[in-house]
Amino acid sequence: MSPVVIIGTGLAGYNLAREFRKLDADTPLLLITADDGRSYSKPMLSTGFAKHKDADGLCMAEPGAMAEQLKAEIRTHTRISGIDPGHKRLWIGEEAVCYRDLVLAWGAQTVQVPLEGDGADRVFPINDLEDYARFRAAAAGKQRVLILGAGLIGCEFANDMSLGGFQVDVVAPCEQVMPTLLHPAAAAAVQAGLQGLGVRFHLGPVLTRLAQADEGLEAHLSDGSVIACDLVVSAIGLRPRTDLAAAAGLQTNRGVVVDRHLRTSHGNIFALGDCAEVEGINLLYVMPLMACARALAQTLAGNPTQVSYGPMPITVKTPACPLVVSPPPLGQDGNWQVEGQGSDLKVLCHGADGQLLGYALTGSAVMEKLALNRQLPALMA
Ligand SMILES: Cc1cc2nc3c(=O)[nH]c(=O)nc-3n(C[C@H](O)[C@H](O)[C@H](O)COP(=O)(O)OP(=O)(O)OC[C@H]3O[C@@H](n4cnc5c(N)ncnc54)[C@H](O)[C@@H]3O)c2cc1C
């Protein structure tokens, strides 16, 4: 019997395998991953310095232990190079692997910017455990980190690396932190909290050139300023992986397009996690992928089940200014109202009918999240 094949051993791949095994102990299961297959929780990558955890410390299980636990075969350091939906097989170079059902859990890749200068190899994206290990090795004995990007992940790294003893500069071409996620008042509170730790923000310019200097690096910004640093962390965004899916003729948009059964435009191929766009919604967070894993496990076990999304608030790991945010659903506009002062803000968004559509809570106001969550509409009922 051909196996159920899952591409990717991130939180989406491993959680799906776990949920599936609760329902079906016998169907052969094959997981294929381009990385080393260690099980870890990706959100912990941005709290590693504060918690004194290197990459080995963040690893929760080796692939051998995962294979035993999941009664699965796991092929590590193996990159799939193509999919042939018509013959229900995929390609690893010249090797063909047949599947009963195929699940794409291959995540999102970091956006790269072209950069001039001889210091370009000192730019570190951190999107998996191996990236994190590389960064930790390069950061040993260094003191100054420049972070590109002031989104959620850039701000979390800024907080964590400050707590880890680094001097942190953040460069981003925007007017406020987390511009796509936060009302300006909440953004100002978070920025002030991080500045209180010593983080320096350079909002507006972009990094144009990175040059080796006598000691470390010189980062040249588009406004003419120069920042001295030892390493650069790139946190400018993630793009769902869609290329192999598109090449195989599957429908793609921002992500791999799936319906509420997590089914792609081809019957035996499914997708979940960062790479999936579920009925037009591509969420790069853990809560949605867990909901998808539970629903898809049922479907793969013979009980077709649609995924539902309740409210999906995000707890941002910036302890310098605690933050919980639940942005209004895409395309829904409302009236914003700001209560509180200083770092303790309750920023609410209501629709014309008075329905709470979203919120941002900072500082001590985060205590109100449970009460507010009960008032939020489901993202996908
Ligand atoms: C620093 C950081 C902090 C975060 N913090 C939070 C948080 O606090 N809360 C939250 O909800 N979310 C957080 N997120 C987002 C969350 O971690 C992700 O949404 C989630 O981990 C994505 O899991 P995934 O399995 O879809 O993708 P990934 O973990 O990226 O896994 C993709 C897998 O696919 C494999 N792969 C890719 N291409 C191929 C190929 N061609 N062949 C074979 N294998 C392939 C990779 O090797 C990997 O195993 C954070 C993200 C980052 C980067």
Give the closest residue to 258 by CA, choosing from 104, 110, 85, 106: 104
pTM above 0.95, yes or no: yes
Mean pLDDT of the chain: 97
Q: Per the structure block, which two tokens stand in for 289?
A: 């992928």
State pLDDT tens for residues 326-364.
999 888 889 999 999 999 999 999 999 999 999 999 999
Q: Give the phi and the psi of residue 98 in degrees, each rounded to 5.
A: -85, 150
Q: How far is the CA of 1 from the centre of ligand 1 (A)?
A: 30
The mean pLDDT of 8-14, rounded to a whole number, is: 98
pLDDT value of position 113:
84
Q: Which atom of ligand 1 is nearest to the CA of 107?
A: 27
Q: State the CB neighbour count (10 A cutoff) for residue 116.
A: 12
The mean pLDDT of 67-83, rounded to a whole number, is: 98
Q: Are 171 and 208 in contact (CB under 8 A)?
A: no
Q: Are 363 and 290 in contact (CB under 8 A)?
A: no
**Got the DSSP string for 298-318?**
HHHTT------B----EEE--
Mutate to test the pocket of ligand 1, among 47, 156, 278, 286 (most ligand atoms within 8 A of CB): 286
**Choice among 53-57, 171-175, 192-196, 328-332 with the minimum mean pLDDT:** 328-332
Q: How far is CA 261 from CA 52, 247, 257, 270, 366, in A?
A: 40, 22, 11, 8, 34
